[in-house]
Amino acid sequence: MSEPILRVALPVPLRRLFDYLPPAGCDGAALLPGVRLRLPFGRRQVVGVLMAVAITSTVDQKRLKRVVELLDAAPLFTPPLFSLLQWAAGYYHHPIGEVFASALPLRLRQGERAVVDRPELWRLTPSGEALQWSDLGRAPQQQLLWSHLRHAPSGLTLAALKLLHPRPLSLLRAMERRAWVEVQPGHPEPATTIGEVQSPPYLLNSEQQQAVETICARLGRFQPLLLHGVTGSGKTEVYLQAIAAVLERGEQVLMLVPEIGLTPQLVDRFYCRFGIELGLSHSGLNDRERTEVWLRVAQGELPLLIGTRSALFTPFARLGLIVVDEEHDGSYKQQDHFRYHARDSAIKRAQLEGVPIVLGSASPSLESLYNVQRGHFLIQRLHERAGVATPPPIHLIDLRQQPAENGLSPPLLTGIRHHLRQGNQVLLFLNRRGYAPTLLCHRCGWVANCHHCDARLTLYAGRSDMICHHCGDRQRVPLLCPQCGDRGLKALGSGTERVELALEQHFSDVEIVRIDRDSTRRKGSFSAILEQIHSGRAQILVGTQMVAKGHHFPDVTLVAILNGDQGLFSVDFRGMEKMAQQLLQVAGRAGRGEKAGEVVIQTHAPDHPQLPHLLRHDYDAFAVEALAERQEVGLPPYTHLALFRAEAEQGEDAARFLQQLADAAVDAGCAGVELLGPIPAPMERRGGLLRYQLLLQAGERAALHRALAPLLLWAETLKSGRKVRWSLDVDPVDLY
């Protein structure tokens, strides 16, 4: 009798499974899908995941190799997660072995044993608890850690404390020497008991109440609910109370947040409410910590996991609810390798797990609103701002009448002065880093371009080189125009640095902070800056979208959008949607506390047809129009897109490869699918490579997938594909 055949997914870029014989002395027929196997592949050994046990193989049994080692006694993937990953590999047409590998923390991917080291917990001693905020006035970093520890009666892991400080250990040791904190061995048992609750639930308003009831009435079965309410309308309070109900049932919760949405404030709020050890999954974790969280959630030890995109692929012992906060956020879409969308995949997971999913947003994606229209999602609106005031009024400043200098127009400067005089804070939003985006010769029109990209170089203040934001290349700032020798080179346009410098001139006695990827590059500097804002020392904040998300600054009363034109004239069909979402998000920063706020937008296009809706905070009216437009021209969510991208040193190679794909698609007669291209990408040259793209568009999702599947298998074998780096993006967020 022949042996059972193990069908294995391997971490290689091929869209197929590989057949192996069971390890010596092991009953292959008894193995369950989802266990890891170490096996020979070429000249190496790799770790794969068992997908199925079969009776026959297309490969001659004598030529099959044998698995070296069985790594797990039980599957690492729960059945719903296993199905989700299979679905994702099919839906995104990504090699299945890479999909499974990307779900595993690195250590498990490398074949380490799946056993948990329980982390130690740090907590305040009675004398630590007796301290006052002011006792630590001379040690602001310790003060920060202390205030968070105070909210976490059952103690915090080092992984959680890393959200607050890059190297918390030395601070903790110092506090330990003074007997303010103590370290506890990790829980020997699952932390099922809910500790002391420091902030009891609020009495909900009727809309919040309805939302919580809707969720609770559907526990135990699949139901998406869109929770649409402006910033400050109490969405998080709804999550908290729905989560409490799920924990009460002994079930677990997964909450996804955008990349920069996992703030100490949010974490504090959960500690204060539940008093339990939280599972946190964020980019600051090292691999040991990531593995620990993954395994402890899998074993049901951590009742609540809050994390960014990739937390979606954590196995849960008893998942009861999924929450996706800021569901419209672009960071849910992975932009390289395995290009999945975490919100869309979370909906699929909720369906497979048979649990409700809550999608929260102040400005929902058009996709989700369309799903409400079609009856696929329920919707609950939160109209009132919980606690305070009406939404802040939004005014326009017409830059054609009142030109800006260094990004700041005269009426804006007057406004800033006025708000500062009241003792309030001002937030200026500009989605552009650096000093200026362009260096131009006024005499001959020469512009400083990157040598490797179709892009301009960005100038930085006080630096002698300019940087390309697309490939990172640098060039020295020339003293004379390289083309005509003129001395009159001008920095054109404004980035956050230039605005900051101009503000220092105008408001010399005021503390100003800048928040962007450059100013927060050093770990921990972001939390230090946030501290500066909360303590009120800094009065003016200038920043990119990093300031727009999740932060609650009660003393900010004026929010200004310096370059309102950026989104209005975007080439991307989602540009306007993103602009509207960003505007509402930024506007939501104004007047969140007791004080009323206002918002101003500087623009050259005050008559833009979409602006009136946004000025009235009427996202619904905006969305209705935007959806009608998408329907009229046949764009998502009314049609479905897939984008092949190809790049090569020689443009012809990339174009030829895509042309062969297009021809093959036509030959296959893929009904219901329209082909656009190959055409050069909007930024044709990037990092020295020439880029082309081929867009597939279909009215029916199924037709698109029918066309893609054979095309990809064929593309893998194509000779012209070897000189080319290519990828497929299903449901692309950006078309470039």
Strand partners, 38: 47, 69
Per DSSP, 591 falls in state: T
Among ligand ADP, Zn ion, none, partner that 37 touches (CB below 5 to 8 angstroms by kind): none
16 vs 19, 47, 90, 637, 727, CA distance in Å?
10, 16, 11, 30, 17
For the chain, how many residues are written? 736
Select 69 or 384, whichever has its Cβ closest to ligand ADP: 384
Among 107, 118, 123, 443, binds Zn ion (CB under 5 A): 443
- Asked if 324 touches Zn ion (CB under 5 A), the answer is no
Tokens at residue 690, please?
């020439």
Q: Are 305 and 255 a contacting pair, CB within 8 Å?
A: yes
Residue 204 is a binding residue for ligand ADP (CB under 6 A): yes
- Is 235 one of the binding residues for ligand ADP (CB under 6 A)? yes
Smallest separation (angstroms) from ligand ADP to the CB of 255: 12
Which one of residues 453, 583, 601, 724 is an interface residue with Zn ion (CB under 5 A)? 453
SS3 428: strand
237 binds, among ligand ADP, Zn ion, none (CB under 5 to 8 A by kind): ligand ADP
Amino acid present at 230 = V
Q: Closest CB to ligand ADP among 205 and 659?
A: 205
Question: Considering the rule CB under 6 A, would residue 233 count as an interface residue with ligand ADP?
Answer: yes
Q: Any contact of residue 605 with ligand ADP (CB under 6 A)? A: no
Pick the piece of the chain touching Zn ion (CB under 5 A) from 227-235, 472-480, 582-590, 609-617. Answer: 472-480
Establish if 387 lies at the interface with ligand ADP (CB under 6 A): yes
Measured from the CB atom, the residue of 298 and 324 that comes closer to ligand ADP is: 324
Owner of token pair 């000779």: 719
Q: What DSSP element (H or E) covers 541?
A: strand 540-543
- In the bound complex, what is the minimum distance in angstroms from residue 475's beta carbon to Zn ion? 10
Nearest in space to 47 (alpha carbons), one of 83, 84, 82, 98: 98
Q: Output the CA angle 203-208-210, nearest 5 degrees.
A: 115
The Cα 299–Cα 640 span in angstroms is: 38
Instruction: Give the interface size with ligand ADP as a residue count (CB under 6 A).
Output: 15
Asked if 441 touches Zn ion (CB under 5 A), the answer is yes
Q: How many CB atoms lie within 10 A of CB 625?
A: 14
Which of 95, 229, 493, 678 binds ligand ADP (CB under 6 A)? It is 229
Which of these ranges, 63-71, 230-238, 282-290, 441-449, lies near ligand ADP under the rule CB under 6 A? 230-238
Binding at 730: pick from ligand ADP, Zn ion, none (beta carbon under 5-8 Å per type): none
Q: Count CB neighbours of 421 within 10 A.
A: 8
Pick one of Zn ion, ligand ADP, none as the site partner of residue 452 (Cβ within 5 to 8 A by kind).
Answer: Zn ion
CB 542 within 8 A of CB 589: no
Nearer to ligand ADP, 202 or 569 (CB): 202
Q: What span, in angstroms and rounded, lies between the C-alpha atoms of 502 and 523?
A: 27
Binding residue for Zn ion, selected from 183, 461, 471, 624, defined by CB under 5 A: 471
Query: Could you tell me if 21 and 64 are in contact, meaning their C-beta atoms sit under 8 angstroms apart?
Result: yes
Smallest distance from Zn ion to CB 487, Å:
9
Q: How far is the CB of 393 from ligand ADP (least distance, A)?
A: 19
**37 within 8 A of 50, measured Cβ to Cβ:** yes
What element of type H or E holds 271?
Answer: helix 264-274
| 102 lines the binding site for ligand ADP (CB under 6 A) | no
Total binding residues toward Zn ion, as defined by CB under 5 A: 15
Q: What is the DSSP letter of 27?
A: -
State yes or no: residue 119 binds ligand ADP (CB under 6 A).
no
Q: Which does 233 bind (CB under 5 to 8 A by kind): ligand ADP, Zn ion, none?
A: ligand ADP
Residues contacting residue 63 through CB under 8 Å, at least 6 positions apart: none
How do 598-603 and 556-561 pair as beta strands?
A: parallel
Min dist. Cβ of residue 239 to ligand ADP (A): 8
User: Which residue of 14, 130, 484, 679 would you call a contact of Zn ion, by CB under 5 A?
Assistant: 484
Nearest CB to Zn ion, comparing residues 135 and 486: 486
CB 321 within 8 A of CB 298: no
Closest to Zn ion by CB, 322 vs 489, is 489
Question: Checking DSSP bridges between strand 223-229 and strand 378-382, what pairing results, if any?
Answer: parallel
Asked if 391 is part of the footprint of ligand ADP (rule: CB under 6 A), the reply reads no
Q: Is 25 left (phi over 0), alpha (psi -120 to 50) or beta?
A: left
Select the binding partner of residue 232 from ligand ADP, Zn ion, none (C-beta < 5 to 8 A, by kind): ligand ADP
Please list every residue from 554 through 573 that binds ligand ADP, using CB under 6 A.
none
Binding piece for ligand ADP, criterion CB under 6 A, among 126-134, 200-208, 484-492, 556-564: 200-208
Decide whether 126 or 200 has the Cβ nearer to ligand ADP. Answer: 200
Q: Dihedrals φ, ψ of 582, to 5°?
A: -65, -40
Residues 136, 169 contacting (CB under 8 angstroms): no
> Is residue 234 within the footprint of ligand ADP (CB under 6 A)?
yes
In the list 452, 534, 552, 723, the residue contacting Zn ion (rule: CB under 5 A) is 452
Rounded CA separation 731/340 (Å): 9
Q: Quick check: 465 and 447 in contact, CB under 8 A?
A: no
Q: Name the site residues for Zn ion (rule: CB under 5 A).
A: 441, 443-444, 446, 450, 452-453, 468, 470-471, 473, 481, 483-484, 486
Q: Name the site residues for ligand ADP (rule: CB under 6 A).
A: 202-205, 208, 229, 231-237, 386-387
